[in-house]
Amino acid sequence: MKDNPLTSHALDTASGLPAIGMKTTLYRMSTDDTWEQITSQYTNEDGRLSHLLSDAEFTAGIYKLNFDTKNYYSKLDKKTFYPYVEIVFEIEKPAEHYHVPILLSPFGYTTYRGS
């Protein structure tokens, strides 16, 4: 958990399996109100992203996680209602650990602040 202050996890509740190989991009909002990309990665075989950013990079502010759901489902030959899923969240206490997962299916999704 060390030097890994922000984690995410994508579970495909339609299949009951992790959402593997889904492109996920993390952004931080800049002082000029534009989105600055921090990293773009693919979820691993457990549906997780290995390391999004370090403690030093994790400053208070507004972040956005973009999950490329359309391409993920397209590789599974499935359609989805969502071209992508974006979760915008505010980090007030960067010393804490934040877990921002999604429970995903083709026509619905859930997200929450986890631990």
Q: Residue 46 to residues 18, 19, 28, 38, 90: CA-CA distances in angstroms?
A: 5, 8, 25, 22, 26
- Closer residue to another protein in complex, CB, 42/112: 112
Cβ within 8 Å of residue 5, ≥6 positions away: 53, 54, 55, 58, 94, 96, 97, 98
Residue type, 91: I
We find the least distance from the C-beta atom of residue 8 to another protein, in angstroms, to be 14
* Distance separating alpha carbons of residues 109 and 18, to the nearest angstrom: 14
Least gap, CB of 68 to another protein (angstroms)? 12
**The one segment of 16-24, 38-46, 49-57, 86-94 that binds another protein by CB under 8 A:** 86-94
* Piece in contact with another protein (CB under 8 A), picked from 3-11, 42-50, 52-60, 103-111: 103-111
* Residue 69 to residue 75: CA distance in whole angstroms: 10
Task: Report if residue 90 touches another protein, rule: CB under 8 A.
Answer: yes
Q: Based on the shown chain and the rule CB under 8 A, indicate whether residue 96 belongs to the binding site for another protein.
A: no
Q: Interface with another protein includes 42 (CB under 8 A)?
A: no
Q: Which residues bind another protein (CB under 8 A)?
A: 62, 81-90, 107-113
